[in-house]
Structure 1
Amino acid sequence: MQETPFSLRVGHLLPYSMSDSNTTDFTNPSSFILLGIPGLEAAHVWISIPFCTMYAIAVLGNFIILFIVKIDPSLHAPMYYFLCMLAVTDLVLSTSTVPKMLSIFWFNSREIDFNACLTQLYFIHCFSAMESGILVAMAVDRYVAICKPLRHSTILTSPVVGKIGLAVVLRSSILVLPNPFLARRCPYYRTNIIPHTYCEHMSMVKLACADIRINNYYGFSLIFLITGVDVFFIALSYTQILRAIFSLPTKDAWVKTFWTCSSHLFATLAFHIPSLFSILTHRFAQNVPLHFHILMANMSILVPPMLHPIIYGFKTKQIRNRLLWLFTHKGPKVFSWCSGSKANHRAELAGDMVLSPLS
């Protein structure tokens, strides 16, 4: 017996069908249908296993980071404030996509309300931009800790860190805000079936039988205003950091100092490489198979939240020791604030070593 096509099987869920799309005149559908990963529907259950595992690690790891920083006063420093911001952003970013994705894989729950789709679109793009901005702030913290260690405590005070965090939130919220409105203004005539696991801006507007040049132009502008600017400032920070490192007298000092930046560098690469690959393939690589593009888009959402707590938990001695102490009560306690050089203490917090002035 021949299997009924999916588009016909869910016809009762659709506000319109593909067959009458040319005769029905309306502004927006009431809901969309997310296909998941087109071409790999038979493997959805198997794909869900690593996705669910990565999500569980991301949630557990980021909550542990937040808990450890909260209970340990010695971690109340700029580096760890930024790390907490990154953890919250990772939690929101992954939670805005993965539960619906898993419901598609496990329960074939493909329908999503139109307004819920726009909300998910906004959260994905907003918190992706926010995460990029936080990584820039962490790069600035690395620059100050290495290049101006004696002034670290006076430059990056708690009010300054708060203002940086507020600026990152406002920039992302305001710049991404037009996206859902631009998507809403498009009339959707052809179909309401989105070949994706979540509501992404370009995947939605490509369904519209209308001029979407404004959407394309604004999407390109966001790439330059957010990703381009952030990558530029991160590269600029590391250029200054490398100049400071190479001015040190011995190779051993080079390695130790650069090691203090490795956590942030790994976190930055884990976020920007999958994200840039997904953006570029979506817009320019038309010959890339659709299922491969969707898988990479999901990796850009899942991999960074999973890797960030692992990277910082493994690389940061204070977090590692506190975690060991919490579980075994045998690890060394994390040191607390004490008298002495604040610069040296800040340097220890920054990279598990005391840095000498480089500026």
Structure 2
Amino acid sequence: MSAANWTFLHPSIFILTGIPGLEAFHVWISIPFCSIYILSLLGNCLLLLVVRSMPSLHEPMYLFLSMLAVADLVISTTTLPKILSIFWFQRRVIPINACLAQVFLIHSVSTMESGFFAAMAFDRYVAICNPLRHASILTKSVIAKIGLLVMIRGAVLLSPHPFLLKGLPYCRGNVISHTYCELMALVRLTCADTRGLRAYGLTVAFLTGGLDFSLVILSYVLILRTVFRLPSKEARLKSLGTCSSHVCMILVFYVPAFFSFLTHRFFHSVAPSVHIFVANIYVLVPPMMNSVIYGVRTKKIREAALRVFRFPSPRDTRTGK
């Protein structure tokens, strides 16, 4: 193969277009995107600070939530700065290594987030179905091992993607119709046989996100079975209340994730702008909402945040402390 053909089929840069069909509105779209990014950074950093500062929050649920907050920060920072540079300064060029690193980080960290949601569901299951053994089952050592296992799983299973993508010939050009480098967007640019890569991607998705979602559903089936056996309505509502924040986070994470995954692979009639907009929602909104949901709905985090910043909590005001 000549040097010219090699350069054409194996480009050193890719060009990101942004959201096709909405180029005239990129500046306007950047306003909510930038606001979401700032809220995500502030919310997750505040959450990590509060959990770290308050020993009373060194419990399984909040430790898993801290791991999720770190993953959210990585996802946001991996995508948003480049998206905003496209919208504001038309800096569409991205080197191939940076593009492949973005693919790896987005998919691997998303897989880790899915694992953290499953771990949090397991925590809720033990807390409600076996409360007397909660502290002995989910020790700090066990929590650390679960977190490490989730991170290793995401890193190992997704690490082949950049190497497989780099070796493909991109005979359909180097223009990516997207705001960031995404696996299927790159696959569409190649003219090589990608059935093996697609099959591997589907297998990884079902072994990670699919398995995690199944474990979450199983956990909540067992939780509901236990809750509805409780003798009083107040006890049932209290038990369900401890799960409400987690359920909201699951919906925010999995609904756009499944929509994006399924439409990319099976529903090709969906407009590209819809694909890309939902894909952006998937990487932007959950990182912001996770900290907001837990911060607003969890009394212990609200009170701890007030104490960290030396504001008196409503309880302290009532007791005169």
What TM-score range do you get, normalising by the shorter chain? over 0.9
DSSP 3-state at the match of 1:260: helix
86-95 or 220-229, larger mean C-alpha shift: 220-229
- Match for 1:184 among 166, 172, 181? 166
Which residue, 21, 24, 27 being the options, matches 2:5?
24
SS of equivalent to 1:123: helix
Q: Which string of whole-angstrom CA distances, capped at 9 and with x for unpartnered residues, describes residues 229-285 of structure 1?
A: 011100010011001101101222211110110111111111011111011111111
Q: Can you list the C-alpha shifts for 1:12-31, whole angstroms capped at 9, x where unaligned?
A: xxxxxxxxxxx834451010
Q: Secondary structure at the match of 1:320?
A: helix
Greater mean deviation of Cα atoms: 90-99 or 216-225: 216-225
Give runs of aligned pairs for residues 32-47 of structure 1, distance below 5 A.
Answer: 32-47=14-29
Runs of 5+ in structure 2 lacking a partner? 317-321
Letter in 1 for 2:5: T
Deviates further, 71-80 or 301-310: 71-80
Q: TM-score, normalised by structure 2?
A: 0.95
Number of the residue aligned with 2:179: 197
Q: Does 1:108 align with 2:90?
A: yes
**Superposed displacement of residue 78, structure 1:** 1.1
Aligned to 1:267: 249
Paired residues of 2:53 and 2:308 also in contact (CA < 8 A) = no
Instruction: Give, in whole Å, the separation in 2 of the partners of 1:60 and 1:48.
Output: 18
Equivalent position to 2:195, from 180, 192, 213? 213
Equivalent residue number for residue 76 of structure 1: 58
1:232 to 210, 214, 219: 214
Q: Structure 1: which amino acid aligns with 2:156?
A: I
- How much has 1:333 moved relative to structure 2? 7.3
CA distance in 2, matches of 1:132, 1:166: 14
Larger radius of gyration: 1
For the 8 Å contact 1:322–1:333, the answer to whether it is kept is no
Partner of 1:254: 236
Aligned residues between the structures: 312
Say if 1:194 and 1:203, in contact at 8 Å, map to a contact too: yes
1:288 aligns with 2:235: no
Q: What CA RMSD, in Å, does the superposition of the two structures yield over aligned residues? A: 1.3
Partner of 1:164: 146
- Which shows bigger deviation, 131-140 or 211-220? 211-220
SS at 1:112's partner residue?
strand
Percent sequence identity over aligned pairs: 54
Q: What is the letter of the counterpart of residue 205 of structure 2?
A: I
Query: In 2, are the aligned partners of 1:322 and 1:332 still within 8 Å (CA)?
Result: no
CA distance in 1, matches of 2:238, 2:54: 25
Q: Matched residues in 2 for 1:234 and 1:281: separation?
A: 23
Give the Cα–Cα distance (whole angstroms) in 1 for the partners of residues 117 and 208 of structure 2: 12
One-letter code aligned to 2:302:
R
Give 1:124's aligned residue: 106
Per the alignment, residue 354 of structure 1 pairs with none
Q: Within 1, Cα distance between the matches of 2:278 and 2:139?
A: 38
2:50, 2:308 within 8 Å by CA — same for their partners in 1? no
Q: Take 1:306 and 1:330, find their aligned partners in 2: how far apart are those partners? A: 26
Question: Does 2:161 align with 1:144?
Answer: no
For 1:197, the aligned partner's letter is: T
The one-letter amino acid of 1:288's match is: V
> Does the aligned pair in 2 maintain the 1:36–1:197 contact within 8 Å?
yes
State the SS of the aligned residue for 2:11: coil
For 2:252, the aligned partner's letter is A
Q: Tell me if structure 2 keeps the 8 A contact 1:325–1:332.
A: no
Match of 1:306 among 264, 270, 288: 288
Q: Which residue in 1 is equivalent to 2:319?
A: none
User: Any conservation in 2 of the 1:325–1:333 contact (CA below 8 Å)?
Assistant: no
Q: Give, in angstroms, the shift of residue 327 of structure 1.
A: 4.4
Q: Deviations over 1:331-356 (max 9, x none)?
A: 1579xxxxxxxxxxxxxxxxxxxxxx
| C-alpha displacement of 1:215 | 1.4
Cα distance between partner residues in 1 of 2:160 and 2:314 = 50
Within 2, Cα distance between the matches of 1:332 and 1:73?
Answer: 20
CA distance in 2: counterparts of 1:225 and 1:150, whole angstroms: 32
Distance 1:212 1:62 in 2: 38
Q: Which amino acid aligns with 2:157?
A: L
TM-score of the pair, normalised by structure 1 = 0.85
